[in-house]
């Protein structure tokens, strides 16, 4: 039995592509959220326009990475859940499900907002993306509020996710965090 556990330890970690996509998305989401907070109250200027474009590019990139991550997740079984109380497993699964939904909802609503406001997205200044909805000021105002609300919901879930990971690392000491860290693990 002891030998079997030692030889199956690789199955307790996420795959390298899953780990890479997790951390790429984490950095992109935190960066886009921070940029969104910073740029929202800037006066109209070339700098604000530049930041809005970067924010849109980040959003489209997050959308593409999210699609890759979801495809990877659907085609590759994750490691088995660690033993934990049912309520913790329930909260973890709900949090992950909502995060995945918001990985798509936040950038798609942002894209729709940009389209409704009449500001097309040209990804990295090279690839023009189609308008998601027709230009409509009232719709743009609604979508702007929805984009902000969804972004704050994602931020709250990210804090919950990180808090849960820290609890597992420092209090439970159950190795959960090491499963998603780059490297060989222990």
Mean pLDDT per 10-residue segment, the chain (186 residues): 38 91 98 97 95 98 98 94 93 97 98 97 97 96 98 98 96 94 74
Hey, how many other C-beta atoms are within 10 angstroms of the C-beta on 45?
A: 9
**Domain range enclosing 125:** 12-180
**Structure confidence at residue 95 (pLDDT):** 97
Beta carbons within 10 angstroms of residue 107's beta carbon? 25
* Domain count across the chain: 1
80 to each of 8, 13, 124, 128, 133, how far by Cα in Å? 11, 9, 39, 42, 41
Tens digits of per-residue pLDDT, 59-75? Answer: 999 999 999 999 999 99
pLDDT score for 11: 62
How many C-beta neighbours within 10 Å does residue 4 have?
7
What is the per-residue pLDDT for 12? 85
Q: Is residue 134 part of a domain?
A: yes
**Tokens 């702007």 label which residue?**
144
Q: Residue 42 belongs to a domain with what CATH number?
A: 1.20.950
Which pLDDT does position 101 carry in this prediction?
A: 98
Alpha-carbon distance 144 to 116, whole Å? 9
Please check whether residue 186 lies inside any domain of the structure: no
**Whole-number pLDDT of residue 29:** 98
């Amino acid at each position: 039995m002891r030998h079997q556990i030692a030889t199956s330890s690789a199955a307790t970690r996420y795959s390298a592509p899953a780990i890479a996509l997790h951390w790429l998305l984490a950095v992109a989401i935190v960066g886009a959220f921070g940029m969104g907070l910073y740029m929202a109250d800037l006066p109209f200027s070339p700098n604000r326009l530049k930041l809005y474009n970067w924010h849109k590019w980040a959003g489209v990139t997050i959308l593409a990475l999210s699609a890759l991550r979801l495809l990877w997740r659907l085609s590759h079984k994750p490691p088995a859940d660690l033993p934990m109380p049912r309520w913790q497993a329930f909260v973890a699964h709900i949090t992950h499900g909502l995060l995945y939904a918001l990985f798509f909802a936040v950038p798609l609503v942002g894209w729709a907002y940009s389209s409704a406001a009449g500001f097309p997205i040209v990804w990295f200044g090279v690839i023009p993306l189609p308008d998601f909805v027709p230009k409509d000021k009232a719709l743009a105002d609604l979508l702007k509020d929805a984009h902000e609300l969804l972004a704050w919901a994602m931020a709250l879930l990210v804090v919950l996710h990180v808090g849960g990971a820290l609890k597992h690392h420092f209090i439970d000491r159950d190795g959960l965090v090491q499963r998603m860290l780059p490297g060989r693990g222990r």
